[in-house]
Structure 1
Amino acid sequence: MTALVERTETWVQVCRITALLPERGVAALLPDGSQVALFRTYDNEVYAVSNTDPFSEANVLSRGIVGDRGGVAVVASPMYKEAFDLRTGVCVDNPEVSVPVYPVRVVDEWVQVGLR
């Protein structure tokens, strides 16, 4: 017998899409106390990852440099310059390390982050 597990998400309205400048990060504090780094790319994709750099344990990813590696959107930490795939959270140069990613959507010009 297989048990069905229902995944529920609560969406938190964080900011207007216009507050996210392309290729820049913004940090946000979620209701559970965790920090996320939000990014909007030039092609208007919006991503949300943990703001905590796993190498330094500092909440700095929102201040990282946004770019791409081989067509993949990444953010490079300002601490040790490790780049993280914004879609998956995986470190590009050290795939054994990653940051949590959050579901994100834009509804009526508001950026919403999904909580698990």
Structure 2
Amino acid sequence: MNPAITLDWTAICPVDRLEPDRGVAALVDGVQVALFRTADGLFAIDNRDPVSGAYVLSRGIVGSRGGVPTVASPLHKQVYDLRTGHCLDLPGVAVARHDARCRDGLVEVRLRQEG
């Protein structure tokens, strides 16, 4: 497996515009990203559901499983770990994870791409 290549940070929005435990979609360098703000922090994953191929994960149900912050796809209900992108229901299935942070009150995302 090749290491991930990280790109530059991109400012998305003020952090207070993200409702806790709700997702929002953002376009970052041509990639649809699903952003989430939970009690565990900020998370960014691809918005594309790898099972259905639809760009819907930002509309998923935010929750937790065993203390792990998660989002469930609104279509087929597969649950993804927001920290890693791994599907907790289907081994071997994952969604790309990206870096997210709050800097000076702004949410920033840095895309990660497999190199």
TM-score w.r.t. length of structure 2? 0.90
Q: Which runs of 5+ in 2 are unaligned?
A: none
Partner of 2:36: helix, strand, or coil?
strand
Q: Which runs of 5+ in 1 are unaligned?
A: none
Conserved? CA contact 1:104–1:114, under 8 Å: yes
1:77 counterpart residue number: 73
2:27 counterpart residue number: 29
Deviations along 1:10-34, one digit per CA (max 9) or x if unpaired, are 0000111011100000000112x11
Aligned length: 109
CA distance in structure 2 between the partners assigned to 1:30 and 1:103 by the alignment: 12
TM-score w.r.t. length of structure 1? 0.89
Specify the code of the residue in structure 1 equivalent to 2:85: G
Residue 101 of structure 2: which of 97, 101, 105 is its match? 105
CA distance in structure 1 between the partners assigned to 2:111 and 2:55 by the alignment: 19
Pairwise CA RMSD of aligned residues?
A: 1.4
Conserved? CA contact 1:50–1:100, under 8 Å: yes
User: Runs of 4 or more off by more than 3 Å in structure 1?
Assistant: none
- 1:86 and 2:82 aligned: yes
Residue 11 of structure 2: which of 13, 35, 51 is its match? 13
Partner of 1:9: helix, strand, or coil?
strand
Q: Give me the identity figure in percent.
A: 53
Conserved? CA contact 2:34–2:46, under 8 Å: yes
Task: Flag the structure with higher strand content.
Answer: 2
- 1:40 and 2:37 aligned: yes
CA distance in structure 2 between the partners assigned to 1:37 and 1:8 by the alignment: 17
